[in-house]
Structure 1
Amino acid sequence: MVNELNGIRLVVLDMAGTTVADGGLVEQAFAVAAAELGVEPGSSDHVRKTDYVRATMGESKISVFRHLFGEESLARRANSAFERAYGELVDDGRIAPVTGARETIEELRADGRTVVLTTGFARVTQDAILAALGWQDLVPLTLCPGDVGGRGRPYPDMVLEAFLRTRAADDVRQTAVVGDTSYDVLSGVRAGAGLVAGVLTGAHDEEALRTAGAGHVLGSVVQLPSLLAELPSPAGAGR
């Protein structure tokens, strides 16, 4: 059961790049969406937009498209095209778990911790990923921006929603947030999580993760159980 010395009872894990290896599918799907909206491949506009997508990995995708295309109708067209393209790539078997991720989630749950999976994708894409991996029943709760009124990362809403819905912890400091992007990290910091960690299996490097506020940077999510076992209890967060 959960080590009473460290008190982490809720673990909020990102999907793509953290527990799910998508092999650059976000950028591939964006290229399809951008082309559909008339952005010429290889143009300076395409490069600029792709750079922004890369920099904002982890953010709600509709928010990214609102920034890139401005007009709401265009943003929604881009988002629909992106979700469709990404879903087709998933259906083609172009997605897999990060090595050891499923086993890590099972270990965390066996230790008595509640695990929630979060994403910046829409629900339809999140469900497609879960189905492709056979993860539909792996955790008790999965969340996307649409589940929290549309505010995805870097806002703290999904972390706080996980805290409220699961009732796994008495204090938000008993929550760990783990992701591969600066926006994942920021969401955990802003939520007041007791542990915020970055992983190096996805979009952003250690410098970006540390700058965003990661207290720990792991090579992979598989190192998380060992980290949790070594932590002292956050002040005032014990039961």
Structure 2
Amino acid sequence: MSLSTAVPTVPALSVGTPVPLRLAVVDMSGTSVVEGGLQDRAFAKVVAARGLAEGTPEHERAARLFRERRGTSRTAVFQALFEDRTAALEATRAFEAAFDRLLAEHGVTAVPGAEGALVRLREAGLDLCLITGYARHTQNMILESLGWMGLADLSLSPDDAGRGVPYPDMVLTALLALDHDDVRSVLTVGDTAADILAGRRAGAGLVVGVRSGQDTGGVLAGAGADQVVDSLAQVPDLVATLRG
């Protein structure tokens, strides 16, 4: 007598099957927060102190690199500028100290309509995670200054997740930390091509670009955004429309 082993079958997931949105992962700088160029000022001070004087081609190349990679960890940015790891770590600490001083002096503001939009997303039943390329303590300073410490279910920086955008680490960390089981239930919102790439690479169900920050709508669409809107304030209505 021959015995056959029954192998349970698992229904295949349909790529086109809509999954209800359950988690919003929203970028801070440029998307929900306006920091008014304080990062650029802190960066200029740090690299000038290390021999890259403002107005020189070397300084401009460094500034361009910083603008392109500002969503990832600051350590990674300075490691790309300074081959010596010790010098990169020292520059990172100097940047964070300079930025914190500027932040304490000048503060930041919310993007118009951002706080209301975040509240509406939670009222619509979505968990909320705020993500940033800032260091953890800097992120906390900003949240405290805006009165946003209890606004989101979770906040993450590269310090918490390993890497910043364009890597998917923070999106996936939020998914796991808030106990969701399907990345297609995630909405991501950001103002840079790197934010869009992070959402795409994570497999988010809806990736939205906003024109309130660094990159143009064309750049955001070209990076793979499902939708591009003027600001975060429009995102709750977009979600409601897509839900039908």
**What TM-score do the two structures reach when normalised by structure 2?**
0.89
Instruction: Give yes or no for contact 2:168–2:199 (8 Å, CA) kept in 1.
Output: yes
Instruction: Give yes or no for contact 2:19–2:184 (8 Å, CA) kept in 1.
Output: no
Mapping 1:55-204, distance limit 5 Å:
55-148=68-161, 150-167=162-179, 169-204=180-215
Larger RCO (alpha carbons 8 Å, 6+ apart): 1
The aligned amino acid for 1:213 is G
Match of 1:225 among 205, 230, 236: 236
Q: 1:135 aligns to what SS in structure 2?
A: coil
Identity %: 44
Cα distance in structure 2, aligned partners of 1:43 and 1:195: 42
The aligned amino acid for 1:222 is A
Number of aligned residue pairs: 227
Cα distance in structure 2, aligned partners of 1:59 and 1:182: 12
Tell me how large the CA RMSD over aligned residues is: 1.5
- 1:209–1:57 distance in 2 versus 1, CA, 3 Å: farther
Task: Give runs of ≥4 in structure 1 deviating > 4 Å.
Answer: none
* Residue ranges of structure 2 left out of the alignment (5+ in a row): 1-17
Q: Which of these two proteins has the greater Rg computed from alpha carbons?
A: 2
Cα distance in structure 1, aligned partners of 2:114 and 2:170: 21
Deviations 1:72-124 (A, max 9, x none): 11111111111111111211133111111111111111111111000111111
* Residue ranges of structure 1 left out of the alignment (5+ in a row): 234-239
Greater Cα offset, 92-101 or 186-195 = 92-101
The aligned amino acid for 2:236 is P
Deviations 1:160-190 (A, max 9, x none): 01000102x4311010011111111111000
Instruction: Give yes or no for contact 1:6–1:230 (8 Å, CA) kept in 2.
Output: no
Q: 2:106 aligns to what SS in structure 1?
A: coil
The aligned amino acid for 1:174 is S
**What TM-score do the two structures reach when normalised by structure 1?**
0.91
The aligned amino acid for 1:154 is P
Alpha-carbon offset, residue 154 of structure 1: 1.1
Instruction: Give yes or no for contact 1:201–1:219 (8 Å, CA) kept in 2.
Output: yes
Alpha-carbon offset, residue 36 of structure 1: 2.3
Instruction: Give yes or no for contact 1:130–1:136 (8 Å, CA) kept in 2.
Output: yes
Cα distance in structure 1, aligned partners of 2:97 and 2:106: 15
Q: 1:217 aligns to what SS in structure 2?
A: strand
- Which residue of the partner structure matches residue 213 of structure 1? 224
Cα distance in structure 2, aligned partners of 1:216 and 1:182: 13
Instruction: Give yes or no for contact 2:187–2:206 (8 Å, CA) kept in 1.
Output: yes
- Which residue of the partner structure matches residue 6 of structure 2? none
